[in-house]
Amino acid sequence: MIMKLKNVSLLLIAVVLIAMSCKDNSETIEITPEAFHASVDKTVEVMVHDIFSPPVASRVFVYPNIAAYEIIAQNDSTFHSLQGQISHLKAIPKADEAKNINYPLAALIAHIDLSKRLIFSEQRIETFRDSLYQIWEATNTAQFEASKAYGIQVADFIGDWMDKDNYNQTRTMSKFSIDPENEERWQPTPPAYMDGLEPHWGKIRPFVIDSSAQFKPLPPPVFSMNENSSFYKELKEVYDISNQITKEGDASEEVLIAQFWDCNPYVSVTRGHLMFAAKKITPGAHWIGITKIACKTEDADFNRTVFAYTKASIAIADAFISCWDEKYRSNLVRPETLINKYMDHEWKPILQTPPFPEYTSGHSVVSGAAATVLTNIFGDNFGFLDDTEVPYGLPIRSFSSFNAAAQEAAISRMYGGIHYRAAVEVGIGQGKNVGNLVNGRLRMVK
């Protein structure tokens, strides 16, 4: 479903709670948690419009969040700077205490500025930003200008650090080469038969994990089309589950779960002779949405909100690096390819198979990492209503905990017909390893 663009003016009225009285242009500019949520939401909206891949989307989240966090950590003794905790991150420039800097405002400006640099449709962010700038400047020109200058200074600093993460170099690396004669290796899948997505993402500089291979999982079951082999049994399980749950139609609980966690920005829709992309969020964006829900449920203040987004986005980013390293190492064929060849040439998975190798499941790894970190922040058995997918025509689902949501996200990939059981179960463990490392190494709250 193509997401309807939000009316910027209505968005600002609804979510940016800023004091508008400005008789003497000297009131303190109030920056609420809703203002930061609005900036994150705008970035997600633009990413969906621009059709960002799941790994690249995780990069779009993490750097703006870190920039904002480092600013608030400098002025709030509750939080530790990430300097040195992320080994390659140096101290951001110090704010001039003689200037009238509003730290939440500077943090929000840094977030908006870096987000704009990381997406394609910059004008959409600029329109959002300029509407806010007008309000802030009218409220307190001196405070706005000082905070803006510092926010941009920090954004420039984090931007320079960001540019050294090997992303630009991977843009020039070769496409992934397939081996059509080797049936155990990944092959492009219908309907678009896209090339392998981000084959060099394992070369991106990680944040907390020591390397992309730190949590290298056990290999998948040995490929074999022998009916008694573990691999064949897992393949047959995917086929049998799909056939069973589709007997009940779209109302089946398993089908609803698969659809809810689809989060595939590359779904191709064919109508007549035309093919176009149905725009959706990525799995990382879904968990960023859950972070928002948790913050609002807890009524977290501005600084704690920035902290939660930052820690979650670091775990998500490292989870993608870890997962993609394994995907292109094991390079395993998707169920759809083999089922169509050996079992049922007319069979289609409930979800469209994404364009990259099967093992491990990206949803499982990312969900395991994000749930582990969010549990550390908000506690276990933190119940919530997940309305992240409502803009895409899907209903709200309720969860008793972050881990329960992660388990459902993982199994949804089997229900959807795009992953074997091993990719799901091993993937959750791989993600939890990443999340536990983030929890153990980053001492963000004093």
Summarised one tens digit per residue, pLDDT across range 76-124 is: 999 999 999 999 999 999 999 999 999 999 999 999 999 999 999 999 9
Question: Where does the pLDDT of residue 6 fall: very low under 50, low under 70, confident under 90, or very high at 90 and above?
Answer: very low
Q: Which residues contact 121 (CB under 8 A, 6 or more apart)?
A: 46, 49, 50
Q: What is the mean pLDDT of the chain?
A: 93
Asked whether the beta carbons of 355 and 192 are under 8 A apart, the reply is yes
**Residue 267: predicted pLDDT:** 79
Kindly tell me if the per-residue pLDDT of 25 is higher than 90: no
Work out the widest C-alpha separation in the chain, in whole angstroms.
Answer: 80
- Distance of CA 414 to CAs 99, 243, 334, Å? 56, 12, 11
**272-291, pLDDT tens digit by residue?**
545 445 678 999 999 999 99
Kindly tell me if the per-residue pLDDT of 207 is higher than 80: yes
Q: Which residues contact 187 (CB under 8 A, 6 or more apart)?
A: 178, 180, 333, 334, 337
Q: Which residues contact 406 (CB under 8 A, 6 or more apart)?
A: 364, 367, 368, 370, 371, 428, 431
Task: Give me the phi and psi of 400, to 5 degrees please.
Answer: -85, -15
Kindly tell me if the per-residue pLDDT of 316 is higher than 90: yes
Per DSSP, 321 falls in state H
- Residue of 285, 423, 292, 314 lying closest to 372 (CA atoms): 314
- The model's pTM is 0.93
The kind and range of the H/E element at 33 are: helix 33-50
Mean pLDDT of 192-211: 97
Mean pLDDT of 384-411: 97
Kindly tell me if the per-residue pLDDT of 149 is higher than 80: yes
The DSSP bridge partners found for residue 277 are 268
Distance CA 13, CA 23 (A): 20
**Residue 4: predicted pLDDT:** 41
Asked whether the beta carbons of 185 and 294 are under 8 A apart, the reply is no
